[in-house]
Homo-oligomer: A and B are copies of this chain.
Amino acid sequence: MKILVLGGDGYLGWPTSLHLAERGHDVAIVDSFHRRLWDHELGADSLIPILTLQDRVALWERLGKRPIRTFVGDITDWEFVGHVFTSFRPESIVHYAEHRSAPFSMLSRRHAVVTQVNNVVGTLNILFAMRDLAPESHLVKLGTMGEYGTPNIDIEEGFIEIHHNGRSDVLPYPKRASSFYHLSKVHDSNNIEFVCRAWGIRSTDLNQGVVYGVHTEETSLDTGLSTRFDYDDVWGTALNRFCVEAAIDHPITVYGKGGQTRGFLDIRDTLQCVELAILNPPAEGEYRVFNQFTEQFSVQDLAEKVRDGAEKIGWNPIIENIANPRVEMEEHYYNARHTKLMDLGLQPHYLSETLIDGLLETVKAHGGRVNKRLLYPRHNWKQGLLEDVEPGDRL
């Protein structure tokens, strides 16, 4: 199948592209390298060194693998999107090409606007390209579990049957996101649901949990195929950041009480889920939502798992509950359904001590590259970028 991977240079886009190519699909990657640009803005970098996209793809081909085509450009540019669609004619479109950081979106007005405009306009362009240039194609869109917030009732997969005043209807599950980034994904979901109804577009909205891990079957073939690994305050996610902190004998920094509970999944399961969605496309005009995670943990749980794993190999990290930069409940009910991908055949890699051990060792090997300045939040949700960070630390 001809599969276009938007954002194919990123943490998940790159291993997804390899995974799909390895399974015999014709893969083309689209990327604008904004993620690499923001590393410069934020003074951050991937913990694990990564090659350029061009070198990665060349290496993959030298290893005798199915070639991957690349398109370098920005999907908010309609002329570029038109070129990609007419020259590649995708059958499936995997859409990772979005700003993906809640903290980034909260740094300032400019960051909020850039995040929402990029995500909304990029996705609108893809939808119009599908309508006019690839009407049979299937959009596999990466959304986030964060779109739902933390309601006091069970979270369903996209829709909920509501009984009210003696009548009932199945309606979109109410969303209550808590950053301009998460809100941008809600905006996208609403736009996509509409065009499925209005134009007959096929779409799968993957409301993904927090991804952890770094190695996949294909990236492990050669160090040059490694994907990026972020640990800083803006791009790093909980488990990955905790492992880095443990590896350099820095306190494991939990935001607030740590009772914040979320869905999590192994990076290898992201690849499986995307492939399952592609291989089992929705009907014409169908908008479906899969909650894409395998286990729920609280942030404190995760920190303790990392600490325990670290202690087993002789390290002694402490857990530090620091002021929470975010606006979120730190103790709450959380129970989210996630059966649709299991029904399609997902075989989860559950979080085990082995995974944490491996991650700790990987991270340790790159410990010299850790910039400690990036471990504590340089922002909060109320005022954005903090005024009291040191001048050299300013974004």
Contact = CB atoms under 8 A, between A and B. Distances in A.
A83 to B, nearest CB: 15
A154 B160 contact: no
Interface string A147-184: 00001111000001011110111011111111110010
Nearest to A108: B128
Nearest to A125: B109
Given A112-B128, A124-B116, A153-B162, A193 B176 contact: yes
A116 B191 CA distance: 10
Identify the 10 closest CB pairs spanning chains A and B, nearest first: A152-B169, A171-B174, A109-B128, A153-B164, A198-B327, A187-B187, A153-B167, A172-B174, A153-B169, A151-B169
Given A154-B167, A162-B174, A198-B382, A113 B109 contact: no
B178 A198 contact: yes
14 contacts: A109-B124, A112-B124, A113-B125, A117-B120, A153-B164, A153-B169, A154-B167, A171-B174, A172-B175, A172-B176, A176-B193, A178-B198, A183-B194, A186-B187
A151 B171 contact: yes
Contacts of A174: 160, 162, 171-174
Nearest to A337: B165
Most chain B CB neighbours (cut-off 10 Å) among A165, A186, A194, A327: A194
Contact of A121 (B117, B169, B187): B117
A71 interface: no
Give the interface size bracket for A toward B: 35 or more
A333 B194 contact: no
Contacts of A173: 174
Contacts of A116: 120-121, 124, 187, 191
B199 A190 contact: no
A349 interface: no
A198 B128 contact: no
A293 interface: no
A261 to B, nearest CB: 15
Given A128-B112, A153-B162, A162-B153, A191 B198 contact: no
Contact of A194 (B154, B178, B199): B178
